[in-house]
């Protein structure tokens, strides 16, 4: 596995427009965290704005709706989506918590719960945070009415909402609770780890004997005497109003949800695309959704069941067909490169080398099984290199097949940079640095075994590499030597400014700067107050401006004297940043997000 998932850097010699810098200076925010539910920040010039050029597809954990054509989904990275009248509306919460459950009484009264006991309430216009009196992750939510809602979660958390406020209740257990469901205010079931099943009769909570010790992830039923619960190792139990009994599921996959439509047999979904239908007193397994994990279900109590899952999966089951409403691809971007004003390349996990194409994206990666890519660099869009896992190096030249190399050491490569196609450096795990002279790759003596995450330089006699435990290496054209960074924090990115300053970014928002007065032996100075969050990549333009990106959608700009925040209105992890020749800022990161700031 990669120790670092980022790699950076583009050719430093390109002239950049100063128009972006001017408007970014106008676009200063008071804080780095932003305000979660607002639209992306837009500068006073209406022609210059943040745009999403590739929308991420987060894993969807739960779904609730009014009809099969009007519903909400929640999931990873604080993502909430609303589908109505054929259109999607999207919100993303501060600090990107995972949302696990959602329930509502109508379109103007909706509650979503998740990590660290968070709850957000929707009033038909916006989402507002509500205090639940719990700091444990809440995994499930259900209500009999707006003034009678329960949520359950980790460490036995059980909280109740009366329409105005939440209050904490004693569940009588400290095991993780996953799901809550009932037929009314005096008949509610909660399930969790170790086969735990709680029942509320309107007066008190009591434990029921399920006869199993496997986790129970979901409980749901057709009525008081026909209830199902599903969970680990394909566990399915049924309640007939008197006792719980086990049923043979025919699978050992973990089951995350169970549901059914009136007059039809129940269905269950879970890991690796498992889909079960009950018939003839037996459950019949099959694999759907191309084997993707499926987590949540909701039905309209008539003819449709909605199902959510991994990487944005959302499908609607009606008789007799499946309808795929959303489905994404696994794109965890580690580097981005914008060689022209019309084209962007992004590389990442699971063999992704995407190029923008006519408003869409195309994967042009070489055919190499099991490889993830971490870095990209080139002179033009028709001649570039990518590096990645298992010592993989590949060169793309327009009109020719990919040319590929594999390092004999198999060390993962994280970053690549060069002055031209006959002078290229690539760095990675175990202190690996290799050099390309236009014909072949040669291993260089780096003098370290620390993992290296980034490499960048001004010319062939002034190159830097940074990495784990505060490692900074300098190449003077003849040999690499170690520099004292003054820190043991992980360093993720390095950029050599044209004014002689060298900027390094890293964990915890660390920024180091080395001035130009004393050359390579100048002490590294910590620049305080740049970011509250880790920074993963850094780039710059020809006008003296440097940009860094990181955790929680952090974007900051340095003009040679001061750092200022420039928040795009997103809270995703941003792992990579570049500037195109027209001055547009391009940032990319988790779940395949690509943002652009420009005209």
Measured between alpha carbons, how far is 16 from 38 in angstroms, rounded to an integer?
Answer: 30
β-pair type (373-380, 360-363): unpaired
For residue 40, the tally of other CB atoms under 10 A from its CB is 16
pLDDT at 518 > cutoff 60: no
Q: How far is CA 22 from CA 152, 216, 559, in A?
A: 50, 56, 11
Question: In Å, what is the CA distance from 549 to each residue of 2, 347, 565, 587, 594?
Answer: 20, 16, 10, 8, 12
Residue 252 has pLDDT above 60, yes or no: yes
- Judge whether residue 585 has pLDDT over 70: yes
Strand segments (E) across 127-264: 127-130, 138-145, 148-153, 158-161, 166-169, 177-184, 187-192, 197-200, 205-207, 216-223, 226-231, 236-239, 244-247, 255-259
Asked if residue 198 lies in contact with residue 189, where contact means CB atoms within 8 angstroms, the answer is yes
Residues 119-136: tens digit of each pLDDT: 999 999 999 999 999 999
- Reply yes or no on whether the pLDDT at 291 is more than 90: yes
The owner of tokens 């995994």 is: 139
Contact 490, 506 (CB under 8 A): yes
Tokens of 518: 């004393």
User: For residue 45, what pLDDT is reported?
Assistant: 45
96: left (phi over 0), alpha (psi -120 to 50) or beta: left
Residue 213, pLDDT > 70, answer yes
Indicate the burial class of 148 (C-beta count within 10 angstroms; 0-12, 13-18, 19 or more): middle
What pLDDT score does 542 carry? 84
Q: Report CA 330 to chain centroid distance, whole Å.
A: 10
pLDDT band at 48 (very low <50, low <70, confident <90, very high): low
Rounded-to-integer distance, Cα 197 and Cα 195, Å: 6
CB-based contact 402:383 (threshold 8 Å): no
Least confident interval from 108-117, 453-462, 520-529: 520-529
pLDDT digits (tens, 9 = 90+) for 479-503: 999 999 999 999 999 999 999 999 9
Looking at residue 17, its pLDDT comes to 35
Is the distance from CB of 127 to CB of 110 less than 8 angstroms?
no
Of 56 and 111, which is predicted with more confidence? 111
Specify the higher pLDDT residue, 518 or 124. Answer: 124
pLDDT at residue 33, rounded to an integer? 35
Residue 227: which of 253, 191, 192, 255 has the closest Cα?
191
CA 592 remoteness from chain centre: 8
pTM of the full predicted structure?
0.81
CB atoms within 10 A of CB 408: 7
Indicate if the pLDDT at residue 424 is higher than 80: yes
Q: What confidence category does residue 139 fall into, taking pLDDT thresholds of 50, 70 and 90?
A: very high
Q: Which residue has the higher pLDDT, 330 or 379?
A: 379
Least confident of 63-67, 244-248, 471-475, 516-520: 516-520
Residue 192 pLDDT exceeds 80 = yes
Q: Is the pLDDT of residue 590 over 60?
A: yes
Residue 203 CA to its chain's centroid (Å): 42
Burial of 293 from C-beta contacts in 10 A (0-12 / 13-18 / 19+): buried
520 pLDDT band, cuts 50/70/90, is low
d(CA 277, CA 264): 10
Residue 502 has a pLDDT of: 95
DSSP β-ladder status, 216-223 and 535-540: unpaired
Helix (H) or strand (E) holding 64: strand 60-67
Closest Cα partner for 346 from 321, 365, 326?
365
Instruction: Say how far apart CA 84 and CA 90 lie, in whole Å.
Output: 12
Give the model's pLDDT for residue 254. Answer: 98
Q: Which domains does the chain have, with CATH numbers?
A: 19-56+331-598 (2.130.10.10), 60-326 (2.130.10.10)
Query: Which DSSP string corresponds to 464-508?
Result: EEEEGGG-EEEE-SS-EEEE--S--S-EEEEEE-TTS-EEEEEGG
Q: What is the mean pLDDT of the chain?
A: 90
Percent of the chain, pLDDT > 90? 81
- Of 26-30, 199-203, 518-522, 536-540, least confident by mean pLDDT is 26-30
User: What are the residues whose beta carbons fall under 8 Å from the beta carbon of 400, sequence distance 6 or more?
Assistant: none
pLDDT at 310: 93
Which stretch of 86-90, 188-192, 534-538 has the lowest confidence by average pLDDT?
Answer: 86-90
pLDDT of residue 220: 98
pLDDT of 517 reads 55
Structure tokens at 123: 């009033």
Which tops the pLDDT comparison, 52 or 244?
A: 244
Looking at the predicted structure, is the pLDDT value of residue 11 above 50?
no
How confident is the model over 13-25, as pLDDT tens digits?
Answer: 333 333 333 333 3
Could you give the count of Cα atoms lying within 13 Å of 66 in the half-sphere of its Cβ? Answer: 12
Tell me the CB-side half-sphere exposure of residue 194, using CA atoms within 13 A: 9
pLDDT at 426: 98
Determine the Cα–Cα distance for residues 233 and 451; give it in Å rounded to an integer: 39
Q: What is the pLDDT of residues 55-73, one digit of tens each?
A: 888 999 999 999 999 999 9
What is the Cα–Cα distance from 160 to 147, expressed in whole angstroms?
A: 9
pLDDT at residue 364 greater than cutoff 80: yes
Residues 6+ apart with CB under 8 A from 469: 450, 488, 490
């Amino acid at each position: 596995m990669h120790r670092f998932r980022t790699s950076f850097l583009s050719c430093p010699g390109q002239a950049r427009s100063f128009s972006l810098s001017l408007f970014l200076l106008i676009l200063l925010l008071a804080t780095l965290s932003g305000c979660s539910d607002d639209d992306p920040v837009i500068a006073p010039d209406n022609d210059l704005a943040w745009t999403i050029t590739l929308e991420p597809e987060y894993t969807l954990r739960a779904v609730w709706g009014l009809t099969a054509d009007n519903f909400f989904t929640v999931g990873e990275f604080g993502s909430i989506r609303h589908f109505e009248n054929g259109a999607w509306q999207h919100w993303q919460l501060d600090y990107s918590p995972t949302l696990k459950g959602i329930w509502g009484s109508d379109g103007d009264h909706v509650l979503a719960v998740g990590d660290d006991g968070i709850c957000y309430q929707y009033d038909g216009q916006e989402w507002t945070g509500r205090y639940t009196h719990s700091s444990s992750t809440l995994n499930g939510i259900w209500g009999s009415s707006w003034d009678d809602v329960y949520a359950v979660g980790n460490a036995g958390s059980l909280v109740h909402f009366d329409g105005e406020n939440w209050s904490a209740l004693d569940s009588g257990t400290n095991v993780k609770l996953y799901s809550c469901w009932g037929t009314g205010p005096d008949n509610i079931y909660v399930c969790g780890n170790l086969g735990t099943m709680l029942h509320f009769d309107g007066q008190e909570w009591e434990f029921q004997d399920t006869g199993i010790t496997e986790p129970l992830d979901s409980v749901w039923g057709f009525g008081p005497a026909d209830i199902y619960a599903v969970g680990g190792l394909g566990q399915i139990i049924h309640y007939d109003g008197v006792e719980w009994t086990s049923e043979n599921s025919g699978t050992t996959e973990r089951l995350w949800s169970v549901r059914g439509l009136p007059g039809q047999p129940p269905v269950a979904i879970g890991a690796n695309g498992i889909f079960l239908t009950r018939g003839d007193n037996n459950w019949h397994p099959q694999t759907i959704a191309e084997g993707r994990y499926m987590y949540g279900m909701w039905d309209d109590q008539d003819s449709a069941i909605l199902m959510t899952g991994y990487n944005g999966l959302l499908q609607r089951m009606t008789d007799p067909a499946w309808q795929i409403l959303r489905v994404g691809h696994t794109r965890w971007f580690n580097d981005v490169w914008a060689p022209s004003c019309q084209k962007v390349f992004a590389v990442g996990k699971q063999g992704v080398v995407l190029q923008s194409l006519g408003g869409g994206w195309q994967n042009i990666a070489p055919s190499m099984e099991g490889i993830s890519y971490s870095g990209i660099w080139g002179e033009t869009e028709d001649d570039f290199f990518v590096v990645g896992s298992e010592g993989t190096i590949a060169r793309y030249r327009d009109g020719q097949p990919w040319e590929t190399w594999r390092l004999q050491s198999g060390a993962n490569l994280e970053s690549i940079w060069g002055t031209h196609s006959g002078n290229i450096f690539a760095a990675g795990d175990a202190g690996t640095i290799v050099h390309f002279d236009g014909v072949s790759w040669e291993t260089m003596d780096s003098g370290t075994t620390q993992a290296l995450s980034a490499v960048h330089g001004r010319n062939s006699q002034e190159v830097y590499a940074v990495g784990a435990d505060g490692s900074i290496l300098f190449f003077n054209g003849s040999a690499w030597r170690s520099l004292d960074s003054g820190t043991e924090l992980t360093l993720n990115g390095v950029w050599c400014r044209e004014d002689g300053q060298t900027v390094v970014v890293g964990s915890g928002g660390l920024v180091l700067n080395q001035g130009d007065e004393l050359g390579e032996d100048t002490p590294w100075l910590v620049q305080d107050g740049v970011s509250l969050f880790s920074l993963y990549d850094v780039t710059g333009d020809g006008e003296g401006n440097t940009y860094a990106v990181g955790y929680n959608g952090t974007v900051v700009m340095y003009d040679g004297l001061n750092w200022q925040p420039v928040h795009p209105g997103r809270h995703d992890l941003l792992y990579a940043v570049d500037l195109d020749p027209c001055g547009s800022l391009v940032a990319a990161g988790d779940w395949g997000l690509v943002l652009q700031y420009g005209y």
